[in-house]
């Protein structure tokens, strides 16, 4: 039997899984990563830490699977979007990567909007200039660290750095490229118009391959470090949100998936590039041919919950699962947390506010409130943030009859019901919980010829569980707390 490996370069860790031809996950491992925040709103990681973590995770996953390495036919890659890796002519990292949640580039976004024009950005990139995207980071480096910029030969994304270390190939694919702001999302090619307007050379970009196409072979050196066989194919792969959608079977128009990772997203595939009139949501290429998706993004979802857990629940650090303990606390508190509201804008926000300066807040706290109320408010605030995106996609007339779930929000019965009640829509899980790593593995399986295409891979390996329906009485009860939540950002914006 053939096997494939899926690798996902996340913000909090690198995950690797080993999958067989039926979609069973035989082994998995995650190597944690740390996040560097040199200044408020900044976020960096060392790309070589990703590589070391990938080597460890792949080796452990293969060992856990208990299979001979020579049965592995291909590798699929997924990773955090936008995060910018700067390489010199010899392929060495010039400086730490600027991550998707880094908000230092407001001035560069204003520059891009002026030089490319709002109409040009809508026409070519299908997105506004936002701090998280790659292009503003390149310009920041050029302007603030010119000596480092002069060394830069290529700019790649997180998963593509792992590809380079595995194969020696510098390449990317449309789903990640379309999130750089340097790409023509409609024509699916690098945008010479945008690059020329901001004074950058197209030589900074790398070759494009299909997400399920062979982008290169594992080298002898990489095989030695990872335990993978020499010469097997590495598929083009996809951005984490595209692979997360594949991992639950959201590969065609009419589907929508909500994901809780460090960030939170709501993704709806489309058969053509549809753009939000208010540019609150993003339009990117899917990791499926001739398919795009519209996505709402909140920068801190699981990240906000993790911040609260690590700073406000240190007494639970020794417990078996502090996340479960906090969920249990929150479940005992009534809808609306007795007037307590949490804004999850710890790293700024993207949808719907597009404000890198936005910050988190507890509002309405009183002597009567306990940590349980705060736990409830944090989880409600995250879910309200995702509801903002659900509402925008629904307003664009995208069909949202149910929401597929992946990530941390899919694992807890309490969080699943909370989402159903807040959205007012049924939520659905699938029989796989590996998220983007599983989607990456399916792209590897298509590359290896195990499946003819991605929809076939999803149909063979994924099974949807019974929908979990909203309690419409509870949904109505959330109307006032949600209205309170949406009123707070405009009221506090001038204070951030």
Tokens read off for 222: 């990489």
Percent of the chain with pLDDT over 70: 100
Taking only the tens place, the pLDDT of each residue in 258-308 is 999 889 999 999 999 999 999 999 999 999 999 999 999 999 999 999 999
Beta bridge partners of 60: none
CB atoms within 10 A of CB 91: 14
Positions marked active-site: 240
CB 272 within 8 A of CB 292: yes
Percent of the chain with pLDDT over 90: 91
CB 233 within 8 A of CB 447: yes
The CA distance from 417 to 407, in Å, is 15
The CATH number of the structural domain formed by 3-247 is 3.30.420.40
The pLDDT value recorded for residue 347 is: 87
CB atoms within 10 A of CB 79: 29
Taking only the tens place, the pLDDT of each residue in 388-425 is 999 999 999 998 889 999 888 898 999 999 999 999 99
CB 298 within 8 A of CB 349: yes
Distance of CA 252 to the CA centre of its chain: 19
Taking only the tens place, the pLDDT of each residue in 245-270 is 999 999 999 889 999 988 999 999 99
Would the CATH topology of 3-247 be identical to that of 302-429+466-495? yes
The pLDDT value recorded for residue 172 is: 98
The CA distance from 244 to 237, in Å, is 11
Match 């400086």 to its residue by tokens: 95
Taking only the tens place, the pLDDT of each residue in 348-368 is 999 999 898 999 999 999 999
The CA distance from 287 to 173, in Å, is 8
Helix (H) or strand (E) holding 149: helix 146-151
The pLDDT value recorded for residue 319 is: 76
Taking only the tens place, the pLDDT of each residue in 33-48 is 999 999 988 999 999 9
Residue 331 DSSP code: H
Enumerate the domain spans of the chain. Answer: 3-247, 302-429+466-495
The CA distance from 19 to 61, in Å, is 10
Superfamily per CATH, domain 302-429+466-495 = ATPase, nucleotide binding domain (3.30.420.40)
The pLDDT value recorded for residue 316 is: 87
């Amino acid at each position: 039997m053939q096997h494939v490996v899926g690798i996902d370069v996340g913000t909090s860790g690198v995950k690797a899984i080993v999958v067989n031809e039926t979609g069973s996950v035989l082994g998995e491992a995650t190597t944690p990563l740390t996040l560097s925040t040199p200044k408020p709103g900044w976020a960096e990681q060392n790309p070589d830490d990703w590589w070391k973590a990938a080597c460890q995770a792949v080796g452990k996953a293969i060992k856990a699977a208990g299979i001979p390495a020579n049965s592995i036919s291909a590798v699929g890659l997924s990773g955090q979007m936008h995060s910018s890796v700067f390489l010199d002519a010899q392929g060495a990292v010039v400086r730490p990567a600027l991550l998707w949640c880094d908000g230092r580039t407001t001035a560069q976004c204003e520059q891009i909007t002026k030089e490319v024009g709002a109409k040009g950005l809508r026409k070519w990139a299908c997105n506004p200039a936002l701090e998280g995207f790659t292009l503003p980071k390149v310009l920041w480096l050029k302007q603030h660290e010119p000596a480092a910029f002069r060394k830069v030969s290529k700019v790649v994304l997180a998963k593509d750095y792992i590809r380079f270390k595995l194969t020696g190939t510098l390449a990317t694919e449309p789903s990640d490229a379309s999130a750089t702001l340097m790409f023509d999302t409609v024509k699916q090619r690098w945008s010479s118009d945008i690059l020329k307007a901001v004074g950058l050379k197209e030589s900074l970009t790398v070759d494009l391959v299909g997400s399920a196409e062979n982008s290169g072979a594992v080298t002898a050196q990489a095989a030695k470090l990872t335990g993978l066989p020499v010469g097997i194919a590495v598929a083009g792969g996809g951005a984490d949100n595209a692979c997360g959608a594949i991992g639950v079977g959201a590969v065609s128009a009419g589907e929508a998936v909500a994901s809780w990772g460090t960030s939170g997203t709501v993704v709806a595939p489309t058969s053509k590039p549809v753009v939000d009139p208010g540019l609150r949501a993003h339009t990117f290429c899917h990791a499926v041919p001739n398919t795009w998706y519209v996505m709402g993004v909140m920068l801190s979802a699981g990240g906000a919950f993790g911040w609260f857990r690590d700073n406000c629940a240190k007494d639970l650090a020794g417990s078996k699962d502090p996340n479960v303990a906090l969920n249990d606390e929150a479940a005992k508190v009534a809808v609306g947390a007795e007037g307590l509201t949490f804004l999850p804008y710890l790293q700024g926000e993207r949808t719907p506010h597009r404000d890198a300066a936005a910050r988190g807040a507890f509002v309405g706290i009183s002597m009567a409130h306990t940590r349980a109320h705060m736990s409830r408010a944090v989880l409600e605030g995250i879910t309200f943030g995702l509801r903002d995106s659900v509402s925008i996609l629904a307003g664009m007339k995208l069909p949202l009859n149910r929401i597929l779930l992946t990530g941390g929000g899919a694992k807890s019965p309490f969080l699943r019901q909370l989402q159903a009640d807040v959205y007012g829509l049924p939520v659905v899980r699938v029989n796989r919980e590996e998220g983007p790593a599983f989607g990456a593995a399916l792209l590897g399986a298509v590359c290896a010829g195990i499946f003819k295409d991605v929809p076939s891979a999803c149909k063979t390996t994924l099974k949807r569980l019974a929908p979990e329906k909203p309690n419409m009485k509870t949904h109505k009860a959330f109307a006032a707390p949600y209205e309170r939540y949406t009123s707070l950002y405009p009221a506090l914006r001038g204070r951030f």
